[in-house]
Amino acid sequence: MGKITPFSIGRRDMQKEGHWEPLDIETYRITKPTVICLGGNCTKTPRDANAMCKLAQNLVGLKDKTFQNEIATTGSVDFVGIDYGTNNENKDAISRLTTEERDLIAKNLLVSMCKDENGNILPNDQIIKNFNQVTFFSWCHGGTEGAYIFWSAFNQMKELGIDEDVAGKACNQMFGVSYSPDDVTSMPSLRIFSENDKMRYTGCTTEEVSATHMSNLFQEKYPKSPHNGIYKADDVTAVLITSHVVRPKTDENGKILRNIDGPIFKDEHDAFLINRDENWRPTAENISSYGDKVSQVAGYTLANSIANSIQNQDSDTFIPKPTIDEVISDARDILAETQKSAFYEIIKNIKEEHGMSTEDIPEELLQDPN
């Protein structure tokens, strides 16, 4: 039995009713810096897809044009959202894209950037430059959908006869920011986890460091303490882990309670906890200074990828997307004093246990007295 309703696609448009414009996947093409927004497995309607696009737009802080020739406004960037439709008659059930839908999306949104208007394969440099226009923003299951779309595009490019090295370089010019993703993709990305996320007790199970850390924390192998921290999981992946986004609950002795200690603790799986308003202020009730910094990092990293795309749109000189080392360095500048040496010591030990390099953790971050 097929899907009850298929997926649909649209984009944020502040001039349209509901700030939403439905798009035709067969005819829409990426021609400007574009953020592809993928929500959790309850993203079943255009309204849900629009909400994810709004969250991404708020994090970046883009607004309508206020004066002539102003750049980096809502008109400069497409925020494209995809809902997954419904997979069965139970309206409360979760949903996901089918393999055929993922292939169709990859073909028309991404692989189409490899061809000119006559269907001829573009020069390699132009293909790579075109893919630079794309940024992904995802939450939870959206991370998995992004991974499938990424690999589908890569394989379809090879089927067109595009050299594998060129296809890889093109795909690596895309960048993703994910909150609580449930899968790892080879797309360069920043992945954000909260230790109070009830859906991520084991971290991202396909990424060894966060999986080990969250499992150890769940088993109370070390005490829970306030912190933010970011590390390099591999050459294309940065992982930011926070102890809490909202102000934590404590017991009578001041000990931070874990999210399994009872209903008084807020589950931090919801990506909208890091939302910001039109004045770029955090909107979550009782957000902590730690959560505010996490939101800032998410917004800055998204904006930096988009800004790079804008730079390259009409430039004769190609500027690659920031490296993961640069993403981490910028994030650490923002996280500042919310980073704690105790957390970095834990991550360093886990990396050593798995035979991984610890060169990405500077000595000064291990000497913080806090």
Which range (18-22, 180-184, 288-292) has the least confidence?
Answer: 180-184
Q: Is 2 among the domain residues?
A: no
Which range (56-65, 117-126, 238-247, 299-308) has the least confidence?
Answer: 56-65
pLDDT at 22: 98
pLDDT at 77: 96
Residues 214-233, mean pLDDT to the nearest whole number: 89
pLDDT at 265 over 60: no
Domain end: 127, 161, 179, which one? 179
User: Please, what is the end-to-end C-alpha distance for the chain in angstroms?
Assistant: 57
Q: Is 133 among the domain residues?
A: yes
Are 31 and 173 contained in the same domain?
yes
Residue 239 to residues 12, 31, 284: CA-CA distances in angstroms? 28, 30, 22
pLDDT at 264: 44
Better pLDDT: 204 or 296? 296
Instruction: Please state, in angstroms and rounded to a whole number, the distance separating the CA atoms of residues 323 and 325.
Output: 5
Q: Is 156 among the domain residues?
A: yes
Nearest to 52 by CA among 102, 93, 11: 11
Are 217 and 166 contained in the same domain?
no
pLDDT at 281 over 50: yes
Q: Is 356 among the domain residues?
A: yes
pLDDT at 57 over 70: yes
Q: Is 130 among the domain residues?
A: yes
Are 198 and 170 contained in the same domain?
no
Better pLDDT: 137 or 222? 137
Instruction: Please state, in angstroms and rounded to a whole number, the distance separating the CA atoms of residues 347 and 233.
Output: 10
Are 259 and 164 contained in the same domain?
no
Domain end: 149, 179, 209, which one? 179
CB within 8 Å of 227: residues ≥ 6 apart: 241, 242, 243, 290, 338, 339, 340, 342, 343
Residues 145-151, mean pLDDT to the nearest whole number: 96
Cβ distance 194 to 214 under 8 Å? no
Give the mean pLDDT of the chain. Answer: 90
Q: Is 89 among the domain residues?
A: yes
Domain boundaries, position 172: 8-179
Strand 189-194 versus strand 175-179 pairing type:
parallel
Q: Give the rounded percent of residues in the chain with a pLDDT score beyond 90.
A: 75
CB within 8 Å of 69: residues ≥ 6 apart: none
pLDDT band at 4 (very low <50, low <70, confident <90, very high): confident
pLDDT at 222: 87
Are 163 and 257 contained in the same domain?
no
Domain end: 179, 200, 216, which one? 179
Q: Is 1 among the domain residues?
A: no
Q: What is the pLDDT of residues 70-120, one digit of tens each?
A: 445 668 999 999 999 998 766 667 899 999 999 999 999 999 999 999 999
Instruction: Please state, in angstroms and rounded to a whole number, the distance separating the CA atoms of residues 370 and 367.
Output: 9
pLDDT at 70: 40
Are 352 and 309 contained in the same domain?
yes
Are 211 and 358 contained in the same domain?
yes
Instruction: Please state, in angstroms and rounded to a whole number, the distance separating the CA atoms of residues 114 and 339.
Output: 42
Q: What is the pLDDT of residues 319-364, one digit of tens each?
A: 999 999 999 999 999 999 999 999 999 999 999 999 999 999 999 9
Residues 313-320, mean pLDDT to the nearest whole number: 92
pLDDT at 93: 77
Are 172 and 207 contained in the same domain?
no
pLDDT band at 44 (very low <50, low <70, confident <90, very high): very high
pLDDT at 141 over 70: yes
Q: Is 3 among the domain residues?
A: no
pLDDT at 194 over 80: yes
pLDDT at 254: 67
Are 204 and 326 contained in the same domain?
yes
- Split into its structural domains, the chain has a count of 2
Are 47 and 72 contained in the same domain?
yes
Are 78 and 57 contained in the same domain?
yes
Q: Give the rounded percent of residues in the chain with a pLDDT score beyond 70.
A: 89
pLDDT at 368: 62
12, β-bridge pairs: 20
Are 199 and 334 contained in the same domain?
yes
